Structure 1
Amino acid sequence: MGLLADILLVAGTLAVAAYCYVLSARLRKFATLESGMGSAVALLSAQVDDMTRALDRARGSAQASATGLEALTARAEMAAARMEVLLASMHDLPSPDRATDSRPLRFIRRKTSRAVEEDAL
């Protein structure tokens, strides 16, 4: 009975040794930076760094575009306000269909006397 237990113990030890050998080989492949999973992790890390830099550049560009767009919007609002004032002043002019007098307007210049001009200076 003791001999059978010793044989089973040796068989179990050999099985565990083979299992450890296989695990160590897999771990070596996993940790190798050139060809294993380590290279994939290093590659992904480099890609994450590149994407972070690209995102920072895009964020800066978007901020600059937003600032420029805000300035252009402010200019457009000012121009729209001026146009509204001009449009409102156009309503004060007489329309051509209401004009009953078809004669052109005449402008008269009057000469002022020298005394009035000298007093003004």
Structure 2
Amino acid sequence: MEILIDLTIAFGAIMAAAYCLLLSRRLRALTRLDGDVGKAIAVLSKQVDDLTKALRAAQQSNTSAGAALDQQITQATATARRLELLMAAAQSGQAAPAARDRPMPTEPTGGFAPQLDLDAFTPLRQSTPRPDSDTRRRVMRTREQIGGNR
């Protein structure tokens, strides 16, 4: 009986050694860069590195573009408010001395900036001056119709 148990243990050890040999050959073939799978792993690894670099560059570009867009939106909002006040003053027949003293904001990149000659501005029709509260209500109502109160 002991001989049979020893033979079973020896046979199990031989089978385990053969399985380990088979696994080691497969692992060596997998990690070898000459084979198809090794080449695919190397190419995919390089592509992941390239995509990571491209993603970082896109994030930096997005951040700088977002900051520039925020600045332009702020300038556009300020210009729109000034324009609304000028229109309200022109419709009510009043001059806008505070608007004449301030220069128009320009883009930081030196782009196109319209210049207004407020002295040459004449409204299409002269209207009677209205109280300030009525003008303000009218401007606010116009703003709500255009795009809501900001």
Once the 2 structures are TM-superposed, how far is the Cα of residue 54 of structure 1 from its aligned partner?
0.7
8 Å contact kept, 1:33–1:39:
yes
8 Å contact kept, 2:91–2:126:
no
Structure 1 segments unaligned to the other structure (5+ residues): 100-121
8 Å contact kept, 2:32–2:38:
yes
Q: Which amino acid aligns with 2:12?
A: G
Relative to 1, partners in 2 of residues 1:20 and 1:97: Cα closer, same or farther, differing over 3 Å? closer
Q: Deviations over 1:70-94 (max 9, x none)?
A: 2221221222122112112123239
Greater RCO (CA < 8 Å, at least 6 residues apart): 2
Q: Identity across aligned pairs (percent)?
A: 36
Instruction: Give the structure-1-normalised TM-score.
Output: 0.62
Distance in 1, Cα, partners of 2:127 & 2:8: 120
Structure 2 segments unaligned to the other structure (5+ residues): 94-122, 129-150
Relative to 1, partners in 2 of residues 1:38 and 1:96: Cα closer, same or farther, differing over 3 Å? closer
Match of 1:26 in 2: 26
Instruction: Give the structure-2-normalised TM-score.
Output: 0.52
Q: Which amino acid aligns with 1:72?
A: Q
8 Å contact kept, 1:29–1:35:
yes
8 Å contact kept, 2:92–2:127:
no
8 Å contact kept, 1:30–1:37:
yes
Match of 1:48 in 2: 48
